[in-house]
Amino acid sequence: MSRETSNAWGRGEMYETLCLLVIGVGIWFVGVTLGTFDSLQGVIVTYGLNDLLMLAACMGLALCGASVRKSILLRRLMLERDAAAAQAEAISRHDGLTGLANRRRFIDAVGRSLSAVTTGSSAAVLLIDLDRFKPVNDLYGHAAGNAVLCAVSERLQQLLPSGGVAARLGGDEFAMLVPVEQGSEGLTRLAQAVITSIAVPVSWNQNDLKVGATVGVAVVAADHADADAVLHAADLAMYQGKKDGRGNYRFFRSAMDEELRTRARLESELRLAIETGAIEPYYQPVVSLPEKEIVGVEVLARWRHPTRGLVNPAEFIPIAEETGMIADLSYNLIRRACIDARAWPSHLILAVNIAPHQFQDAWLAERILAILTETGFPPRRLEVEITESALIQDLEATRATLLSLRQLGVRIALDDFGTGYSSLYHLRELKFDKLKIDRSYVDAITMSDERAKLVDAIIKLGTSLGLSTTAEGIETDASLHWLSDQGCNFGQGYLFGRAMPKAEIDAVLSAQGDLASWPAPIDAFAEAS
Ligand code: C2E
Ligand code: MG
Ligand code: MG
Half-sphere exposure of 199 (CA within 13 A, CB side): 11
Q: Specify the CATH class of 266-528 in words.
A: alpha beta
Nearest ligand to the CA atom of 416: 3
Indicate the pLDDT class of residue 41, thresholds 50, 70 and 90: low
Strands (DSSP E) contained in 418-481 are 434-437, 468-471
Q: Which range among 177-191, 324-338, 383-397 has the greatest average pLDDT?
A: 324-338
Query: Cα separation of 387 and 156, whole Å?
Result: 42
What secondary structure letter does DSSP report for 343? Answer: T
Please indicate whether residue 328 or residue 2 has the higher confidence score (pLDDT): 328
472 C-alpha to center of ligand 3: Å?
A: 6
Q: Which residue's CA lies nearest to atom 2 of ligand 1? A: 353
Query: Can you tell me the mean pLDDT for 442-459?
Result: 84
Instruction: Judge whether residue 477 has pLDDT over 70.
Output: yes
How many Cβ atoms are within 10 Å of 262's Cβ, its own excluded? 11
Query: Cα separation of 33 and 475, whole Å?
Result: 129
Q: 67-71, 201-205, 238-242, 304-308: which has the minimum mean pLDDT?
A: 67-71
**Which residues, including other chains, have CB under 8 Å from residue 288's CB and lie 6 or more apart?**
295, 489, 490, 519, 521, 524
pLDDT of the residue at 113: 94
Quick one: which H or E segment has residue 75?
A: helix 50-93
**Which residues, including other chains, have CB under 8 Å from residue 496's CB and lie 6 or more apart?**
285, 287, 292, 294, 474
CATH 3.30.70.270 assigned to domain 103-252? The reply is: yes
**Which residues, including other chains, have CB under 8 Å from residue 206's CB and lie 6 or more apart?**
none
Three-state secondary structure call for residue 214: strand
| CA 212 and chain centroid, separation | 15
Cis before 290? omega within 30? yes
Please indicate whether residue 303 or residue 222 has the higher confidence score (pLDDT): 303
Instruction: Judge whether residue 285 has pLDDT over 90.
Output: yes
Indicate the pLDDT class of residue 268, thresholds 50, 70 and 90: very high
Instruction: Judge whether residue 12 has pLDDT over 70.
Output: no
Nearest ligand to the CA atom of 312: 1
Summarised one tens digit per residue, pLDDT across range 162-192 is 999 999 999 999 999 999 987 889 999 999 9
Please indicate whether residue 508 or residue 422 has the higher confidence score (pLDDT): 508
Q: Which residue's CA lies nearest to atom 5 of ligand 1? A: 472
For the purposes of burial, counting CB atoms within 10 Å of the CB of 502, is it exposed (0-12), middle (13-18) or buried (19 or more)?
A: middle
Query: Cα separation of 410 and 377, whole Å?
Result: 11
Q: Which residues of 218-253 are buried (b: 16+ CB within 10 A; e: fewer)?
A: bbbeeebeebebbbbbbbbbbbbbeeeeebbbbbbe
Residue type at 34? Answer: L
Indicate the pLDDT class of residue 273, thresholds 50, 70 and 90: very high
- Write down the mean pLDDT value for the chain: 87
Instruction: Judge whether residue 523 has pLDDT over 60.
Output: no
Pocket, ligand 1, Cβ cutoff 6 A: 284, 300-301, 312-314, 317, 330, 333, 353-355, 385, 415-416, 439, 472-475, 492-494, 499
442 C-alpha to center of ligand 1: Å?
A: 14
Asked whether 203 and 188 are in contact (CB, 8 A), the reply is: no
- Statement: the pTM of the whole predicted model exceeds 0.95: no
Indicate the pLDDT class of residue 18, thresholds 50, 70 and 90: confident
470 C-alpha to center of ligand 3: Å?
A: 10
Please indicate whether residue 476 or residue 525 has the higher confidence score (pLDDT): 476
User: CA-based diameter of the chain, in Å?
Assistant: 148
